[in-house]
Structure formats: structure tokens, C-alpha cells
Chains A and B, each alone.
Chain A
Amino acid sequence: MAVYKRAYRGYAGALTPAWSRFLVLYRFARSSQSRSKIQTVFFVLCFFFPLLCLLGIYANYHLSAFAFLGRRAGPFLNIDGSFFLVYLSVQSGLSFILTAFVGPGLVSPDLANGALTLYLCRPLSRTEYVLGKISVLVITLSWITWVPGLVLFFVQASLSGWQWMTDNIWLANAILWGSFIWILLLAMLALALSAWIKWRIAAGALLLATFFVGAGFAQAVNAVLRTKQGYLLDISRLVSIIWQDLLRQGGDQPLPVTEAWIAVLVLAGLCLLLLMRKVKAAEVIR
């Protein structure tokens, strides 16, 4: 198929490892997103709060630097579960908005004009396709959630000493798992909506509605039925319960943590089911 010959020739060269093919989807989706200036700017803005936290942690241990202000005070930040709960809450909000930008455009363009057939007629399974698409969100959201979260943890550990780190290693675990469950939930929801709603603006709007309408509906159910089980419909509340448990922030929880975990996993499973129903190479026309 040389250009100058305009003749067909086969290919007998090296092939990439089969396991790595799903990363091709990540690479192409990422390069497509990086062309959007709004997304790029927002992605950069997502690092503002972690940077602020970093400065706060640094300042906490270098109060002498502020001596010129004439103030003498003890550490003004308590780096514990509550600090990281605030951190996760802020970053989760930002990651939610970023998902609303990125998520709807992941699957819908492939379904809109039947390109899925071309993906799946290659040595790429449906699972790998979903893995490739979900990795776009997982990797992107990781950069603004648990990665800077762990950086903050280790900066704090380096400033406080080895003892603090060993005493608080559970915090790192909580940041990682807390972020991961949030990312998984967002990614599943976004992909499922992207698969079922071809118009990406509508899919983005529905993603927002799922959270806000769900929260409203949960309150309505609680009020009408005089129960707290309505919170099972409030995704952000469910995740918040899990985070509070992971970060050992006690208090009166509206639902048991186990129920929150089950509800979140059921929701993720449901999204996966919806997604796999749409991710097919060919539709049967009855």
C-alpha cells in the first residue's frame, strides 16, 4: 500500500501486546479532550485547592516564616481525618464537574454512527472497550483526587516525622479507597449515560440531575414515609457516609455504613449492566 506505488501490500511487522490495546482508547480519548480549552483550564483549576492545602501544611510547620507579621501562634491546621474529609469533599465536587465535561463524550460518539462495530471486529473485547473508556475517567479523576491527596499525606508525614506516618497510615488508605469509590461511581454513571443518551449535552445534564434530583427525591421519600432509607437514593450522601467512616469521623449517620457500601456497589453494578447492554457490535433487528 505504498503511497508512491498506489498498490496494496500486507503487513507482517511487529504487533503490540494484546493486553495493552485498551490503552489505545485512553490515549485517543485523552488527546481528543485536551483539544478542549475549557476542559484543560478546568483541569488545571482542579489543582488549586490541593496546592492551597499544600501551602497550608507547609506553613503549619514553618510558622517562623510568618514572624514578620508579628504574630506568634501554634499550628493553625490539624492534619487529621477532618482535614482530608474537607479535601475529599472539595475535590469530589470538582471531579464531578469534570466528569460532566468528559464523560458524555466517551461512548456516545462511537454509538452515534455505528463505530462500535469497528472496535469490536478487532481483537478487542467488550470488556476491554469498557476498560479503555473507563480508564479515561479513572486516570483523569485520579490526578485530581487521590494522587494530590497522597502527596499531601506524604508531605505532612515528611514534616511530622516517621511516627506520625505510622500512626496515621490509615489516612492514606482512606484517601485512596474513598477517592476510588467516588471515581468508580462517577465513571460508571457517566459511561452508562453516555451509552444510552447519544446527545452529549443531554447526557451531561442527566448526570447532574442524577445527583441533584436523587438528593431531592431522597428527602421527599424520607419526609413522606418518615424513614431514613430514602438516603439510599442520594448518591452524594451515600459516598459521604462511606468517607466519614473511612476517615474515622464519627457522628450520627442517617444510614449504616454497610448499607451505604451495598447501595453504592449495586448502583455501580447497575450502571455496568446498562453499559454492557449498549456496548454491542451488532443489534438484533426483530
Chain B
Amino acid sequence: MSHSNRSAAIAFEPQNDARSVLAASGASPVIELRGLSVRLGKREVLRDVTCSFSGRTIGLLGPNGAGKSTLINTLLGFWPASAGSARIFGSDIRSEAKKIRALIGYMPENDAFISNMTAVSFIRLMAELSGLPSEMALERAHEALFYVGLGEARYRKLGAYSLGMKQLAKLAQAIAHGPKLLILDEPTNGLDPPARQRMIRLVREMRDSREMHIVLCSHLLRDVEETCEEVVILKQGRVVHYANLEDERRLNRRFLELEVQGDANLFAEAAESLGCECAPGALNRLKLVLAESVEIADIYRIAAEQNVQLRRLNFRRDTLEDIFLKAMENRDGRL
């Protein structure tokens, strides 16, 4: 996906920033939170969350107890907001809950099935409850089960499914009615590596179909990194970081770590003459920020010209893990 047509937008307080970013992107937000607070008992689980995003896949990250599931449950209308407001596709979650739920597919983190029902009956039931006519619900139930890879097991009772199959069945019920927003809460929980790969592939396929927006809530950074375009990091009930992974990757592509054999200073001077920023390190190591016009081929060329061997060349990758850890280091829990 090119950067130019991306509609991702996020902003934190002050709210004016959010409006301006959205206005600049020209996109209507998928989810818009304004000063959202949620109190469960005496504990304030979400505190004054203000953000707005309209990307196609949004990763919701955070340590245990950060408020990820609370945010999802609040968006679904399970728990009331104690302050602030939230909108999904422009509809208020309090006054238009049913309208919103008709547009959402939800795959919960925990077990959610009726053990003595066959998968196809269960998913048909769920699709009918979402408003599909009976015959269409049956057709879509079959299709959804085939799509997630449970086609051959669709007449088996859900109670007899393995953990991985149950996860896939949960995904099937979430997509059977063709939602516009799919919320996946820890979709790879308890899956073995092949099953996890399959789940990630399905999420990617659905993302690439451009039929829906996806919110993926996970504590597994790799899952989010592999599927999401945007990441929101929650900590202690607040949004502490937003990262546009596409932008991060773009930036990372301009940042190199080099180890050379020969005159490192000469090489650095040549690189600087091309407009690159260069920071020499110990043992003939260099860090290089490439100028816009400079490509990797240019680096090889100047190395050859300066009679310098490139022994190592790495893109410095600011991984999601780095981003996450930086966000977690922020002690006061705010940006």
C-alpha cells in the first residue's frame, strides 16, 4: 500500500491535532475516541483516551491490564463509558449500539461456543442473529468454514474441536455476516506455529481484500507487526504511543549500519559528499542516514571508488519491539 493513499490518522491530546490530521487526510475515521474513560467498580481502567484512526488494520498493543480488552468491550457496548464518547463509523456507541454491532464482527479472546452444536449450525445461528436471512446464513456459514479451513470438520460438534479449530471457528463466526469492522482479540492465543501462521495469513488476506477494517488486539508483537499498518500502544489505561508501521519501515529503509575494511574516514567523507549523514563508530563501523536521492547502489559505488570493502551492511530496523519498549519506559504513562 502506498503512503499517498493511506488514510491512517491518529492524534492525541490536544484534540485539535486529531481534527487537523483527519481533515488533512480527508478520511472519515473508523474509530474515534474523545476523552473516553471507563470505570469498572472503583477502578478506572481507561482514562481520558482520545484518539482517532481510519487505517485498514489497527494493532492494539499493551501489557496485561493495559485496558485493551476493556476498550474493545466498551466499543461493543458491553461496558458503559464513564466519561467521554466513542464513535464507530461516525455512530455513537451509546445511542446507536445496535447499528454499530450490525457492522462489527468480534472474535473474543476466551472460549466462546456452544459445545453441543455443530460448527455449521453455530455459525448459521450467529449469522442469522446478525440479520442474514436463513438460507443466506447457511450458505455463508459453509463458506466461512471453508474459508478458515474447517470445511471438512463443519459437521462436527464444537465441543470436539481442538483449541486451534475453536479459534478458527471463532474467526468464522466473526466474518460470516460480512462485517465492516472485524475485532480480533488475541486471535493466535494457544495456537501452534503452523496454526498461528494460518491465522496470520487469513488476517492478511482479509486485510488485502479491502472489504473490512481490522482491529487486532494482541500482546504478541510479532502478530501485530505481521498484519497491521498502524499500532496503538496502551499502558495503564492510556494511549502512550501511536506508530504507523508503514512509515516506520519507510524511515528504517534510509538508515544503515556499516562495517568497512579500509579507510573508513575516506569512505565517510565520500558518503557525506553525496548528502548522507555519517556517524563513525569504533572498529571501522559507521552509521549512515541516506539522503533522499541516494540508493544502496551509490554506497557500493563509493566504496569501490575509495577502495573500501563493505564487510557488513544492515538496515537499522527499529522493530515494533523497540517501539513498544520505548513506550513502556515512559514512566508517567503518557506521551
Contacts and interface: CB of A to CB of B under 8 A. Distances in A.
A and B associate in one complex: yes
A118 B143 CA distance: 19
Interface string A1-40: 1110011111111111010010011001000100000000
B205 A122 contact: no
Given A8-B206, A109-B116, A13 B132 contact: yes
A11 B129 contact: no
A110 B114 contact: yes
B206 A281 contact: no
Binding site secondary structure of chain A = loop
Interface string A95-121: 000000000000001101111011111
Contact of B108 (A12, A21, A117): A117
B111 A113 contact: yes
A284 B114 CA distance: 22
Contacts of A16: 128, 131-133
A118 B106 contact: yes
Contacts of A123: 98-99, 101-102, 129-131
B129 A1 contact: no
B143 A113 contact: no
Given A11-B177, A118-B173, A109 B206 contact: no
Contacts, number: 127
A25 B200 CA distance: 33
B106 to A, nearest CB: 4
Interface residues of B, number: 49
A72 interface: no
A132 B322 CA distance: 50
B108 A114 contact: yes
Contacts of A15: 102, 131-133
Given A8-B209, A9-B178, A118 B112 contact: yes
Contacts of B129: 21, 24-25, 119, 122-124
A153 to B, nearest CB: 36
B83 interface: no
A12 B112 CA distance: 26
Interface in B186-226: 205-206, 209, 211-212
A8 B205 contact: yes
A109 B132 contact: no
A1 B112 contact: no
